[in-house]
């Protein structure tokens, strides 16, 4: 899950400090360079917790919270952090935010905490967070860094929300646990609850995204 690509700004495409405008930063995180459907990062959790819409949204919220917090602090400390230990420092900050969220969830929403299982804790190793901290927050001002964290967190949450919506609706005929499709005529598709269902749903979502943005369009296809 390690982030190993070149450090590239999602907004301007450069590797230096970015002065991107808020709107573009948001658009980049949610649509143009969506961490899940374009960069295909954070797949493990995206597939694991999306069998219910509610789980997917809470997980999206968790990642957004951690991403915003981490980006803010990494950016605030960017001029005082020694280069040599910057990654360890980032991980320490990430872990702190993750554990805060996990503890609060355990105290106030135990049911959800149990359903998400280890995946809240595993946000520490989520490459989206580390990636944004390294690629963006380390070289940008705090406010725009927070915005970048928010955008990427939302991008993740939106994708999880869509997959969770499709999987819960098809897999159980319900949304947020309320039966939407009548049990007398709708037979739940149990594949959608299982992990392969998540792969299939994500695959179709990425295909849809690519179809709209026109990536991978075959060139000069003769007939």
Partner 1 sequence: MKKGSLYTILYAAVLGITCAVALTAVDRFTETRKVANVQAEEVQDILTVLGVPFDAQASSSDLLTVYESMVDEEEINGLTFFVSRHPEAGKLLATRFSGPGLLAPIEGLICLEEDMRTIYAISFYKQEETPGLGGQISSADFQDQFRGKMIVGPLGYPGIHLVNDGADQVNEIDAITGATMTSDKVEDMLSEIIERIIARSGADGA
Partner 2 sequence: MKLILTLLDKTRPLFQKGGRFTALKPIYDAADVFLFSPLARTSRAPHVRDPLDTKRYMSTVIIAVAPCLLAAVHFFGLRVLAMVLVSYAAGGAVEVLLAVFKKDEISEGFLVTGILFPLILPPGLPLWMVALGSAFGVLVGKELFGGTGRNLFNPALIGRVFLALSYPKAMSSGWIEPGQGLVGRLLEYATDAVTMATPLAAAKSGTWAALPDLFFGNVTGSVGETSALAVLMGGAFLLIIGIANWRTVAAMLGTFVIVTAGIYGGDPHAIIWHLLSGGLLFGAFFMATDPVSSPIMNSAKWVYGAIIGIATALIRNFTGYVEGVMFAILLGNIFAPVLDELFVTAHVRRLREEG
Residue ranges that bind partner 1, judged by CB under 8 A: 77, 79-85, 88-89, 92-93, 95-96, 99-100, 103-104, 106-108, 110, 188, 190, 193-194
For tokens 């970015």, the residue is: 18
Site for partner 2 in 161-190 (CB under 8 A): 187, 189-190
196 counts as binding partner 2 under rule CB under 8 A: yes
Rounded CA-CA distance 85/175 in Å is 45
Give the Cα-Cα-Cα angle 157, 62, 43 (nearest 5 degrees): 55
223 counts as binding partner 2 under rule CB under 8 A: yes
- Picked from partner 2, partner 1, none, the partner binding residue 95 (CB below 5 to 8 A depending on kind) is partner 1
- Picked from partner 2, partner 1, none, the partner binding residue 217 (CB below 5 to 8 A depending on kind) is none
In terms of CB distance, is 7 or 77 closer to partner 1?
77
Q: Which residues contact 56 (CB under 8 A, 6 or more apart)?
A: 49, 50, 157, 160, 161, 163, 164, 165
CA-nearest of 175, 89, 165, 171 to 134 is 89
- Cβ of residue 169: shortest distance to partner 2, in angstroms? 14
In terms of CB distance, is 120 or 192 closer to partner 2?
192
- Cβ of residue 190: shortest distance to partner 2, in angstroms? 6
Rounded CA-CA distance 10/33 in Å is 7
- Picked from partner 2, partner 1, none, the partner binding residue 211 (CB below 5 to 8 A depending on kind) is none
Rounded CA-CA distance 197/188 in Å is 12
């Amino acid at each position: 899950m390690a982030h190993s690509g070149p450090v590239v700004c999602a907004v301007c495409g450069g590797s230096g400090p970015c002065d991107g405008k808020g709107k573009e930063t948001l658009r980049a995180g949610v649509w143009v360079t969506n961490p899940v459907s374009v960069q295909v990062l954070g797949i493990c959790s995206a597939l694991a917790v999306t069998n219910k819409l509610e789980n997917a949204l809470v997980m999206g919220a968790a990642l957004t919270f951690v991403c915003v917090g981490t980006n803010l602090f990494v950016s605030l400390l960017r001029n005082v952090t020694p280069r040599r230990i910057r990654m360890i420092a980032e991980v320490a900050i990430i872990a702190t935010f993750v554990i805060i969220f996990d503890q609060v969830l355990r105290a106030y929403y135990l049911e959800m905490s149990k359903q998400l299982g280890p995946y809240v804790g595993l946000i520490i190793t989520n490459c989206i967070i580390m990636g944004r901290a390294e690629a963006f927050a380390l070289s940008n001002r705090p406010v725009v860094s927070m915005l970048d964290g928010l955008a990427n967190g939302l991008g993740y949450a939106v994708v999880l929300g869509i997959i969770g919506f499709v999987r819960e609706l098809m897999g159980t005929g319900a949304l947020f646990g309320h039966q939407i499709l009548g049990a007398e005529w709708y037979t739940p598709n149990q594949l959608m609850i299982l992990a392969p269902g998540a792969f299939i749903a994500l695959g179709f979502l990425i295909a849809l995204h690519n179809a709209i943005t026109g990536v991978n369009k075959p060139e000069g296809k003769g007939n």
